[in-house]
């Protein structure tokens, strides 16, 4: 199949999922065309059947906002015609489903029927899409997709609650390629992060309000009083500066490392002992799954789709949003004894293996067949 994938090319989970899916589909013989404004960060290699087409948006001073949707839908039309692309898969509804629908309509005028699959990822529904300024366009473009998928049951419920949805929503969970983690990193060097007697606690995100970064710091502050440890903060975003200030005020700057964005999170997770994800809401929590496959148990909130990923008392613990005392107690319980930590590490990895890409990619292929049958 020749498939166009539209996604955000940045560090966000939706772009990661889209890129990993595209690469896995290419391995299974499909021809994949990534169409976006920059080469996706996880896209390491452009091979014979993986293409990247950049969307250029010419700057014009008349425009206060440059019309990306227009450029994207035009690029889609051109690439579909040039490469004979047979299906369009857009990740994150805003504005991709809207631009995709416009491309579909333009192609229809020329006698080309292009099926469109839209995957909903979370904030496109819960935080952004639900805003009254976007809602009619988001509802319209979801309903005009041939097939809609969502990354968790929780996100499906939210979508059906917030929008007037006429299309069936198929839940396909996010995934991980377990085979990559059979290898032991020879450079898994925890010595550069912490002393031998210290535990390493990690948080990875885009440092937005929804991630409750102050809770991450508060939890760590309590944990390090009981268990010698370091906190590794990976990512960039609006809450980072405040987090740095908090660490300063609490007198723990020497125990917290802010690493910025990283394309090598597996190399960080391989020496992590615990992952913190106390988010306000999270449609899935891909970062938690990536931690778990790297044998890192998770202390998280119980919001959104996280309970579909992190299993209470097995791969870690879940608490109400904001329950930092309970989260810290559970973290200490996991970290205190070596034997206990090893048990949670094994269980976390086992739980993550349930989300193996080999099980998920055929589900997407079946969804593509379904989309074909509908146009
Ligand atoms: O806020 C983020 O974490 C980024 C955002 C995105 O769209 O890239 O993540 C969303 O999609 C991920 C991949 O499906 C999910 O794992 C995240 O839970 C989801 N984020 C939220 O719902 C806040």
Q: Do 75 and 127 sit in the same domain of this protein? A: yes
Confidence of residue 274 (pLDDT cuts 50, 70, 90): very high
Residue 230 CA: distances (Å) to CA of 66, 79, 84, 195, 203: 43, 48, 52, 9, 11
**Average pLDDT over all residues of the chain:** 94
The pLDDT of residue 330 = 98
Confidence of residue 183 (pLDDT cuts 50, 70, 90): low
Residue 217 CA: distances (Å) to CA of 213, 276, 328: 7, 10, 10
Report the atom number in ligand 1 closest to the C-alpha of 210.
Answer: 23
Percentage above 70 pLDDT, the chain? 98
Q: Do 43 and 167 sit in the same domain of this protein? A: yes
**Residue 143 CB contacts under 8 Å (≥ 6 apart), including other chains:** 165, 166, 167
Write phi, then psi, for 111 (nearest 5 degrees). 80, 15
Q: What is the mean pLDDT of residues 94-110?
A: 97
Q: Which of 121, 130, 355 to mutate to test the pocket of ligand 1 (most atoms within 8 A of CB)?
A: 121
The pLDDT of residue 43 = 86
- Vertex 43 angle, CA 277 and 146, to 5°: 80
The pLDDT of residue 37 = 96
Report the atom number in ligand 1 closest to the C-alpha of 284.
Answer: 18
Q: Do 64 and 210 sit in the same domain of this protein? A: no
Q: How far is the CA of 328 from the centre of ligand 1 (A)?
A: 24
Measured between alpha carbons, how far is 360 from 231 in angstroms, rounded to an integer?
33
The interface pTM score, or ipTM, of the predicted complex is 0.95
Confidence of residue 182 (pLDDT cuts 50, 70, 90): low
Residue 146 CA: distances (Å) to CA of 55, 87, 99, 141, 172: 24, 10, 14, 10, 16
Q: Do 166 and 115 sit in the same domain of this protein? A: yes
Q: What is the largest CA-CA distance in the chain?
A: 68
Least reliable range by pLDDT among 72-76, 120-124, 202-206, 337-341: 120-124
Q: Does residue 123 or residue 120 have the better pLDDT?
A: 120
Measured between alpha carbons, how far is 221 from 215 in angstroms, rounded to an integer?
10
Q: What is the mean pLDDT of residues 53-72?
A: 94
Q: Do 134 and 187 sit in the same domain of this protein? A: no
**Residue 13 CB contacts under 8 Å (≥ 6 apart), including other chains:** 121, 122, 174, 284, 286, 287
Closest CA to 111 of 146, 72, 77: 77
The pLDDT of residue 109 = 97
The answer on pLDDT for 98 being more than 80 is yes
Q: Which helix (H) or strand (E) holds 53?
A: strand 50-54
The pLDDT of residue 281 = 95
The pLDDT of residue 263 = 82
Report the atom number in ligand 1 closest to the C-alpha of 306.
Answer: 18
Q: How far is the CA of 122 from the centre of ligand 1 (A)?
A: 5
CATH at residue 243:
3.40.50.2000
The answer on pLDDT for 315 being more than 90 is yes
The pLDDT of residue 91 = 97
Contact 302, 290 (CB under 8 A): no
The pLDDT of residue 337 = 97
- Ligand 1 pocket residue status of 40, Cβ below 6 Å: no
The answer on pLDDT for 20 being more than 60 is yes
Q: Do 349 and 360 sit in the same domain of this protein? A: no
The phi-psi region of residue 88 (left if phi > 0; otherwise alpha if psi is between -120 and 50; otherwise beta) is beta
Percentage above 90 pLDDT, the chain? 85
Q: Do 135 and 274 sit in the same domain of this protein? A: no
Least reliable range by pLDDT among 8-12, 68-72, 250-254, 340-344: 8-12
Q: Do 194 and 297 sit in the same domain of this protein? A: yes
Q: What is the mean pLDDT of residues 162-182?
A: 91
Report the atom number in ligand 1 closest to the C-alpha of 281.
Answer: 23
Q: Do 30 and 80 sit in the same domain of this protein? A: yes
Contact 210, 181 (CB under 8 A): no
> Which range of residues forms the domain containing residue 316?
179-353
Write phi, then psi, for 258 (nearest 5 degrees). -100, 110
Confidence of residue 185 (pLDDT cuts 50, 70, 90): low
The pLDDT of residue 126 = 83
Q: Do 259 and 277 sit in the same domain of this protein? A: yes
- Ligand 1 pocket residue status of 174, Cβ below 6 Å: yes
Q: What is the tally of structural domains in the chain?
A: 2
Q: How far is the CA of 258 from the centre of ligand 1 (A)?
A: 21
The pLDDT of residue 11 = 77
Q: Do 346 and 366 sit in the same domain of this protein? A: no
Closest CA to 213 of 176, 256, 254: 256
The pLDDT of residue 186 = 56
The answer on pLDDT for 27 being more than 70 is yes
Q: Do 201 and 329 sit in the same domain of this protein? A: yes
Write phi, then psi, for 144 (nearest 5 degrees). -90, -5
The answer on pLDDT for 184 being more than 70 is no
The pLDDT of residue 130 = 79
């Amino acid at each position: 199949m020749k498939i166009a994938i539209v996604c955000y090319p940045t560090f966000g989970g939706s772009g990661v999922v889209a890129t990993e899916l595209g690469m896995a589909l290419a391995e299974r013989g499909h021809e994949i065309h990534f169409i976006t404004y920059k080469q996706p960060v996880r896209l390491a290699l452009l091979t014979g059947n993986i293409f990247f087409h950049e969307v250029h948006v010419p700057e014009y001073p008349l425009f206060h906002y440059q019309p990306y949707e227009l450029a994207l839908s035009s690029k889609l039309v051109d690439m579909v015609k040039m490469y004979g692309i047979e299906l369009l898969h857009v990740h994150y509804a805003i504005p991709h489903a809207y631009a995709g629908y416009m491309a579909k309509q333009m192609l229809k005028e020329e006698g080309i029927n292009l099926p469109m699959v839209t995957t909903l990822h979370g904030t496109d529904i819960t935080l952004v899409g639900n805003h009254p300024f976007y809602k009619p366009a988001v509802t319209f473009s979801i309903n005009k997709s041939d097939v809609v998928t969502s990354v968790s049951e929780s996100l499906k419920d939210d979508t059906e609650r917030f929008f007037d949805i006429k299309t069936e929503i198929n839940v396909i969970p996010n995934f991980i390629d377990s085979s990559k983690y059979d290898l032991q990193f020879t450079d898994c060097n925890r010595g550069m992060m912490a002393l031998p007697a210290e535990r390493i606690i990690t948080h990875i995100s885009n440092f937005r309000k929804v991630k409750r970064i102050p809770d991450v710091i508060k939890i760590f502050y309590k944990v390090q009083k009981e268990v010698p440890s370091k906190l590794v903060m990976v990512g960039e975003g609006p809450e980072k500066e405040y987090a740095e200030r908090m660490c300063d005020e609490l007198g723990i700057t020497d125990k917290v490392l802010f690493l910025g964005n990283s394309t090598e999170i597996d190399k960080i997770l391989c020496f992590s002992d615990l992952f913190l994800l106390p988010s306000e809401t999270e449609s899935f929590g891909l970062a938690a799954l990536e931690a778990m496959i790297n044998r890192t148990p998770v202390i998280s909130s119980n919001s959104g789709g996280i309970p579909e990923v992190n299993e209470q008392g097995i791969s870690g613990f879940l608490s109400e949003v904001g329950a930092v005392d309970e989260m810290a107690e559970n973290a200490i319980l996991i970290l205190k004894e070596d034997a206990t930590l090893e048990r949670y590490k094994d269980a976390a990895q086992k739980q993550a293996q349930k989300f193996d890409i080999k099980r998920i990619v055929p589900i997407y292929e079946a969804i593509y067949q379904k989309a074909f049958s509908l146009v």
